[in-house]
Amino acid sequence: MNLALLGWNHTLSAAFETHATAELVPGRVIQQFNHIYTVATEAGEIRAQLSGRLRHDAAQAELPVTGDWVAVRHSAGAGVAAIHAVLPRFTAFSRRAAGRAEREQVVAANLDYVFLVTGLDNDFSPRRVERYLAAAWESGAAPVVVLNKLDLCSDAEERIRAIEAVALHVAIHAVSALRGDGMEELSRRCVAGQTVALLGSSGVGKSTLINRLLGEERQQTLPVREHDGRGRHTTTRRELIFLPSGGMVIDTPGLRELQLWENDEGVQTTFDEIETLGRNCRFRDCRHVDEPGCAVRQAVEEGALQEERLAGLHKLQRELSWLHRSENPVADRAEKRRWKNIHKEAKRFMRRSEKHRQ
């Protein structure tokens, strides 16, 4: 197997030099299921598991995921190979892991594009697209919004405009994976040597999209439930799939929820127009809630900015703020003191303004 077709380049080659002397070989993780990995190497696909040292020393987010480049030791006739190291990632799509534990879960790594798939049917939600965009921008990969099920939508133009209002500077493709509408233009992004990850909730048609890109019915698909329009899981593992174009696509199980993880810059990029407006606020630390001289609130009142858009920003900011405080109780207390001082300063400003008017 030619590693260059998998995305191998000079940077990866340089990073691998320290492992080459240990009789390890490079490979890319193309499938992960529990603790067993399928790794593509120059000698072909092999089964592998973590070495004891890597399993013991690495943090959860540092363990290999689909899309990672790894250093493997594999001897002929030795059975399962051992993964000894994960090479530095160019990009990584992460979320907060499900459950009470505060930890990062890397969904897929070394991506060129992230296709954020949502349905134009009952799954349609601009707020969910904002959340996915924040995570995608933070990943370092280029986000692309894919609005699927064009064949089931009677007001497609209106819904596309709603997404254009939240997906600023992002390519948007309205398609019908079932009929093939719009798929030719989307497939042009899946070029040789590049990797795309499909992310979205269950039932948005990710497996159908992959089948259309493949030109054959390889991925299992199921219709959404009739009584509530909810999707059902058909993909159970993360898998890197080779397309006829030479590109690669990572299919992922539907995400029931996407909780953000360290996405401050991603949120800022997603809500770039609010960040720009905020530079004209009277207070540098303006929250755009009830502070005097808030340029963002003024834009909402004048109709230049949707209230729902600002509410979406506030929701994600509260989520990230809670995450930061839960990780650092000292920072939590400092944050409370900071906002207490801001409120005091705002009250003083209001009193001074009132005296001036009198």
Considering the domain 3-86, what is its CATH architecture?
Answer: Beta Barrel (2.40)
Per-residue confidence at 331, pLDDT binned at 50, 70, 90? very low
pLDDT value at 345 more than 90: no
d(CA 286, CA 280): 10
268-277 contacts at long range (C-beta below 8 A, 24 or more positions apart) = 269/133, 269/134, 269/137, 270/130, 270/133, 270/134, 270/137, 270/166, 270/168, 270/316, 271/130, 271/309, 271/312, 271/313, 272/168, 272/169, 273/168, 273/305, 274/305, 274/309, 274/310, 274/313, 277/305
C-alpha separations of 89 from 74, 238, 289, 310 in Å: 22, 17, 38, 33
Q: What is the mean pLDDT of residues 324-341?
A: 55
Residue ranges, CATH 1.10.40.50, the chain: 271-357
Which positions ≥6 away from 168 have C-beta within 8 Å?
270, 272, 273
pLDDT at 33: 85
Residue ranges, CATH 2.40.50.140, the chain: 3-86
Q: CB–CB of 56/7 below 8 Å?
A: no
Residue ranges, CATH 3.40.50.300, the chain: 92-251
pLDDT at 339: 47
Q: What SS3 state is found at 358?
A: coil
CA atoms 298, 164, 256, 102: torsion sign: negative
> Where does 271-357 sit in CATH, by number?
1.10.40.50
d(CA 86, CA 57): 12
Q: Percent of the chain beyond pLDDT 70?
A: 84
Considering the domain 92-251, what is its CATH architecture?
Answer: 3-Layer(aba) Sandwich (3.40)
Q: Percent of the chain beyond pLDDT 90?
A: 66
pLDDT at 332: 47
Top-confidence residue, 285 or 337 = 285
Per-residue confidence at 191, pLDDT binned at 50, 70, 90? very high
d(CA 281, CA 298): 10
pLDDT at 356: 57
| Tens digit of each residue's pLDDT (9 = 90 or more) over 252-309 | 886 767 888 877 899 999 999 999 999 999 998 899 998 999 999 999 999 999 999 9
Which positions ≥6 away from 351 have C-beta within 8 Å?
none
pLDDT value at 48 more than 90: yes
Mean pLDDT of the chain: 86
Top-confidence residue, 355 or 288 = 288
pLDDT at 254: 65
Q: What is the mean pLDDT of residues 121-126?
A: 88
| Tens digit of each residue's pLDDT (9 = 90 or more) over 64-99 | 999 999 999 987 666 789 999 999 999 999 988 876
